[in-house]
Structure 1
Amino acid sequence: MAEAPQAVAAAAPDPRLDYDAVIIGAGMSGMYQLLRLRELGLRVLVLEAGSGVGGTWYWNRYPGARFDSESYSYGYSFSRDLLQEWSWSEHFAPQAETLRYLNHVADKFELRRDMRFHSRVAAAHYREEERAWEVTLEDGARYRSRFLVTAVGPLSAPTLPRIEGIGDFRGQAFHTSRWPHEPVDFAGKRVAVIGTGATGVQTIQEVAKTAGQLTIFQRTPNWCAPLHNRPITAEEQRAIKANYPAMFQRCQETFSCFLHTPDPRGTFEVTPEEREAFLEKLYGEPGFGIWVGNFRDYLVDPAANAVVSDFVARKIRQRVKDPAVAEKLIPKNHGFGTRRVPMETRYYEVYNQPNVRLVDLQDTPIERITPQGIRTREAEFEFDIIVYATGFDAITGSFDRIDIRGTEGRRLKDAWAQGPQTFLGVQVEGFPNMFMLMGPHTALGNIPRSIEYNVDWVTGLIRTMRDRGLTRADATAAAVAAWTEHVKAMGAGLLSNEVNSWFTGYNSNVEGKQTRVIARYSGSAPDYRAWCDAVAAKGYREIALS
């Protein structure tokens, strides 16, 4: 948590280049990478499609959007001053507060002076003769830089369902991640929400409070668990600020950088009574504990997973009054924890309200969107508002939307046609000087903790290149093959890799993404950092530097 060191004198800039580095995206990754590259004395430009900083927390303004990892474990850790001057109001902060925090960071470190907003990147092509990247915006502006850093986020390319007539609806319609900046009034309105993933669950909880009639179109039921959010007391605030070093150390040690980590016991190593008591304890505690702090074997052993799934199913049946509705809300095609677990606040109780109805699309699929609303195979519905909580083209989707070309004009999308292949999730062979933050095959988990490590590692490599007068860094084919095989090995045996979800790069809304791939690193964050640290300690031998 040391303060950022002072910037050092920069090497003489290449007069052919506009910048030393261009960063795509002004979210948490891009903001921190800008700060670190400034310290090296580099000329840096951040290109951002939106009108402000924040990334995920800029775009996702839908009702109910908030953290589901603890606020104080989510913020940046690099600045003691920042940690002490900022006070989170809730254990799991809402979107508006998080966006205020990121704007505060941008102000404190004067980040906006090196950013260009309303600047969506259309293409990035590597120019071998200059050992540089040419980045082209949708408005035609072009910039050349030695390094290209992608800070585009694993969940930033929204997808709409492949349903006929989406453009025909005459009412208001929004995707959760492209929510308008002004409030949307649901009071007394007929509202449809399509999708019951994490964003759908958060939206449904809020919309149900005021909507005249809320109709939820469920594509695939998801296992959800209580968030148990509450305000942070003054006494808790003092304790949090005093204990930041120990808390961030804990995050460094846990499997996925959360405050929670798997219990060392196996599901069947305890008595049935002890098992039930432990699951009750987890279900009653705040945050992701029941997902990532559960028995060590429940995500690899089908029998163990069935025990945990049966426990959560009983909870759903207890909370939803109509047994038929409860059964529709209980997943049958995947076990608890094998997909991303939405955290909720009285979500299941929503289905007990007289103004809420559930339409199971497995029984009655949507045929088309009409000017008045939605037509299923069995009924016509009229709505004032349709909300598409239909998720993202995850992990690789944000890369696919940019025409990225490496040496000899090879497209990144073509290189990844059979699934991503990377070195450490940071580099791709044949795309020199391109560094990915939170790209495929990096350790995800508690995202900001992973971001800070990713950024610091990339900064260390660029510092080495600057100090040695090097202008080209390209991962070797052998290094990419070895890392990709390691990533696959880490995913072996995981029940989550046998399920269609964004974890496995599957998306029914995107052409060509109906097969599973290994899109994320499934080992522990400490193991990921150890591998990356070893590469740096040995002088980056897996990267062709020249």
Structure 2
Amino acid sequence: MSTSLQQTSSNGHSAGGVEEFDVVVIGAGVTGLYSLHRLRELGFSVRSLEEGDGVGGTWYWNRYPGARFDSESYTYGYSFSEELLQEWEWKEHYSSQPENERYLNHVADKFDLRPNIRFNSRVASLVYDETATRWQVTTDDGYQARAQFVITAIGILSARYVPEFEGLDSYEGSWCHTNRWPKEGMDLAGKRVGVIGTGATAVQLIPEIVGEVAHLTVFQRTANYCVPLRNSLIDRETQDYIKSHYAEIIEQCLSTPGSFMHEFDTRSALAVSEEEKLEQYERLWAEPGFKKWLSNFYDIMMPGEANEDYAEFVRNKIRERVHDPEVAEKLVPKNHMFGSKRLPCESGYYEVYNRDDVLLVDVREDPIARLTPRGIQLESGSEYELDVIIFATGYDAVTGPLNLIHIQGIGGEVLKEKFANGPRTYMGMSSYGFPNLFTINAASVGNFPRSAEPLVEWVTDAIAHVRDSGHNRITATPEAEEAWVQHMKDDSENILRTQADSWFVGANIPGKARVLLTAPDTAPVMRAKRAEVVANGYEGFSLD
């Protein structure tokens, strides 16, 4: 990079109104902040472009009541700094959004990351200049930057999905998607409120708002297997234990398939006595968090008899908590296997349906036809008058956030068009024809920061390798990409995540190709594969 260019406050350079950097990172959430920190440590000039006016990503945007971790707080924070681990004290075992946002702001301040972040900057386009071997980055407000490398740290669940209901523009009440809950909150007191959706977000939200509204109508298409979170405050003794055992906690997470601190029981549910099996089911049910899912008999997470046995145990737990048998049966999942979707953790969710001021509407049986000026009308003609509508309708996962950016590579190829039938990458990170572009979050699985940290380290080391070895570009080879796409297809067919119509396979978005969007491999296997690539001289990548 020419030293004659004007130095900027972000350690980049400015030429003709376009700032130049070694790397542009899109996003200032969990992955983006760590990418920024590590790239600076490696001596790169870097600019982070963040759509919001603050850091936090998921924990900046998702301000809806009840938003919180579903993995243990002390397994979710960064592990790269021992000082950070020791000075930050999580207040709850499963921390809430306000504290999570405070934590990420603390990280940004502790490592002085804000000078390298441009806020209120939604990236509109990335266009590769083949002659200059640089990416031209343009934001909605006209800001432009050029960089040799780009990391898209935009999350896998950040492109909110609002169904294209007829009449939405005619609705005269207030509405929002949970991903854009206003900072000032929503006035729900004494209002007739409708919530569309009963996935993980709605399961957190509904118990928090039910006591405030005049009447709540919940529109459910798919019932879910929801399990008790059993959150609590972290006492002093536990806090001290956590801080003195962080190394073991992190190591435990890194050894498990989804990077959680829970290991499956190596026994089969079908190999123990009925009494022993039920004792384990009940014992784990009384435990907090994902233990009932991830510390259970290994074969409950495989299609077959053991899975159905535990699914019926969970169904009966739901039936026990809902007084009206007809309502209970609507809330009992019957069209997908236990564990084939991310497991929502709840606090008092099912008891909500015992209230006289709550109505559950099955929109699989009678779908939503349109929104009217006064509320929601079903195909049968039934209409529900509502003052507020909350869309807890999920996300266009993994490829959705990338598709919101016009990404144009070599020869004018557009990434959205290349990904029309599913992502075509090598290990989720690099796509042939788009050199020096790392679609980093597409390769993350499981407990997000535990998977993302090693991924950021791999990507930033790869960028440093390109620099230090005198190369200019790195990109997946077409052969490696094709082999990875085939691996995704072949190895995904028999895993639980592909057996349900969920965001894991894009089935929640009309018209989206139904393919597995994340790797079928466990987190340790993915790390081992990436390490092997490096050991073999960046096998599967072309450096030039």
Aligned to 2:148: 146
Aligned to 1:121: 123
Query: Could you tell me the TM-score, scaled by structure 1's length?
Result: 0.95
Q: Which runs of 5+ in 2 are unaligned?
A: 1-10
Aligned to 1:311: 313
Please, which of 79, 83, 87 is the counterpart of residue 85 of structure 2? 83
Paired with 2:14 and 2:325, the residues of 1 have a C-alpha distance of 69
Query: Contact between 1:443 and 1:523, CA under 8 Å: does it hold in 2?
Result: no
- In the alignment, residue 237 of structure 2 is paired with which amino acid? E
Aligned to 1:156: 158
Aligned to 1:423: 426
Cα offset, 1:102, TM superposition: 0.3
Cα offset, 1:13, TM superposition: 8.3
1:209-260: CA deviations, max 9, x gaps?
2211011010111110000100000111111111101100101111110011
- In the alignment, residue 459 of structure 2 is paired with which amino acid? V
1:465-493: CA deviations, max 9, x gaps?
11112111111011112222333343231
Aligned to 2:3: none
Cα offset, 1:17, TM superposition: 6.9
Paired with 1:41 and 1:305, the residues of 2 have a C-alpha distance of 50
- In the alignment, residue 386 of structure 2 is paired with which amino acid? F
Please, which of 389, 394, 397 is the counterpart of residue 394 of structure 1? 397
Cα offset, 1:81, TM superposition: 0.8
Paired with 1:335 and 1:465, the residues of 2 have a C-alpha distance of 45
1:440-463: CA deviations, max 9, x gaps?
xx2410000111011000011111
Between stretches 221-230 and 181-190, larger displacement belongs to 181-190
Q: What SS does the corresponding residue of 1:423 show, helix, strand or coil?
A: coil
Tell me whether 1:365 sits opposite 2:363 in the alignment. Answer: no
Aligned to 2:460: 459
Paired with 2:295 and 2:254, the residues of 1 have a C-alpha distance of 15
Query: Contact between 2:12 and 2:22, CA under 8 Å: does it hold in 1?
Result: no
Aligned to 1:6: none
Tell me whether 1:293 sits opposite 2:295 in the alignment. Answer: yes
Between stretches 311-320 and 363-372, larger displacement belongs to 363-372
Aligned to 2:6: none
Cα offset, 1:32, TM superposition: 0.3
Q: What SS does the corresponding residue of 2:335 show, helix, strand or coil?
A: coil
Cα offset, 1:384, TM superposition: 1.4
Paired with 2:356 and 2:148, the residues of 1 have a C-alpha distance of 60
Q: What SS does the corresponding residue of 1:341 show, helix, strand or coil?
A: coil
Cα offset, 1:378, TM superposition: 4.1
Aligned to 1:529: 527
- In the alignment, residue 490 of structure 1 is paired with which amino acid? D
Aligned to 1:73: 75
1:137-169: CA deviations, max 9, x gaps?
112221111001100100000010221111222
Paired with 1:132 and 1:502, the residues of 2 have a C-alpha distance of 33
Cα offset, 1:47, TM superposition: 0.4
Tell me whether 1:207 sits opposite 2:205 in the alignment. Answer: no
Query: Could you tell me the TM-score, scaled by structure 2's length?
Result: 0.95
Between stretches 342-351 and 520-529, larger displacement belongs to 520-529
Paired with 1:348 and 1:179, the residues of 2 have a C-alpha distance of 23
Cα offset, 1:354, TM superposition: 1.3
* Count of aligned pairs between the two proteins: 531
1:151-193: CA deviations, max 9, x gaps?
0100000010221111222121110000100022322211110
In percent, how many aligned pairs have the same letter?
A: 49
- In the alignment, residue 405 of structure 2 is paired with which amino acid? I
Between stretches 14-23 and 194-203, larger displacement belongs to 14-23
Aligned to 1:472: 473
1:85-112: CA deviations, max 9, x gaps?
1100000000000000000000001111
Query: Contact between 1:72 and 1:240, CA under 8 Å: does it hold in 2?
Result: yes
Change (3 A) 1:144 1:467: same
Q: What SS does the corresponding residue of 2:354 show, helix, strand or coil?
A: coil
Paired with 1:500 and 1:531, the residues of 2 have a C-alpha distance of 28
- In the alignment, residue 266 of structure 1 is paired with which amino acid? S
Between stretches 84-93 and 266-275, larger displacement belongs to 266-275
Q: What SS does the corresponding residue of 1:332 show, helix, strand or coil?
A: coil
Paired with 2:367 and 2:421, the residues of 1 have a C-alpha distance of 30
Query: Contact between 1:163 and 1:369, CA under 8 Å: does it hold in 2?
Result: yes
What is the Cα-based RMSD across aligned positions, in Å? 1.6
- In the alignment, residue 458 of structure 1 is paired with which amino acid? V
Paired with 1:496 and 1:444, the residues of 2 have a C-alpha distance of 12
Q: How does 1:238-257 map to 2 (within 5 A)?
A: 238-257=240-259
Aligned to 2:495: 494
Query: Contact between 2:12 and 2:19, CA under 8 Å: does it hold in 1?
Result: no
- In the alignment, residue 406 of structure 2 is paired with which amino acid? D
Query: Contact between 2:337 and 2:500, CA under 8 Å: does it hold in 1?
Result: no
Paired with 2:315 and 2:415, the residues of 1 have a C-alpha distance of 42
Query: Contact between 1:124 and 1:135, CA under 8 Å: does it hold in 2?
Result: yes
Q: How does 1:80-119 map to 2 (within 5 A)?
A: 80-119=82-121
Paired with 1:422 and 1:293, the residues of 2 have a C-alpha distance of 32
1:270-312: CA deviations, max 9, x gaps?
1111111111122111111222222212232322211011000
- In the alignment, residue 96 of structure 2 is paired with which amino acid? P
Paired with 2:381 and 2:467, the residues of 1 have a C-alpha distance of 65
Change (3 A) 1:56 1:153: same
Q: Which runs of 5+ in 1 are unaligned?
A: 1-10
Q: What SS does the corresponding residue of 1:367 show, helix, strand or coil?
A: strand
- In the alignment, residue 202 of structure 1 is paired with which amino acid? Q
Aligned to 1:434: 437
Q: What SS does the corresponding residue of 1:268 show, helix, strand or coil?
A: coil
Aligned to 1:25: 27
Aligned to 1:4: none
Please, which of 318, 323, 326 is the counterpart of residue 325 of structure 2? 323
Aligned to 1:218: 220
Paired with 2:508 and 2:361, the residues of 1 have a C-alpha distance of 21
Paired with 1:17 and 1:131, the residues of 2 have a C-alpha distance of 15
Paired with 1:96 and 1:55, the residues of 2 have a C-alpha distance of 13
Between stretches 365-374 and 103-112, larger displacement belongs to 365-374
Paired with 2:137 and 2:306, the residues of 1 have a C-alpha distance of 50
Q: What SS does the corresponding residue of 1:438 show, helix, strand or coil?
A: helix
Between stretches 467-476 and 91-100, larger displacement belongs to 467-476
Aligned to 2:517: 519
Paired with 1:261 and 1:516, the residues of 2 have a C-alpha distance of 30
Paired with 1:523 and 1:267, the residues of 2 have a C-alpha distance of 23
- In the alignment, residue 532 of structure 1 is paired with which amino acid? R
Aligned to 1:8: none
- In the alignment, residue 66 of structure 1 is paired with which amino acid? R
Q: What SS does the corresponding residue of 1:351 show, helix, strand or coil?
A: helix
Cα offset, 1:345, TM superposition: 0.5
Q: What SS does the corresponding residue of 1:399 show, helix, strand or coil?
A: helix
Paired with 1:423 and 1:13, the residues of 2 have a C-alpha distance of 32
Paired with 1:459 and 1:188, the residues of 2 have a C-alpha distance of 51
Aligned to 1:544: 542
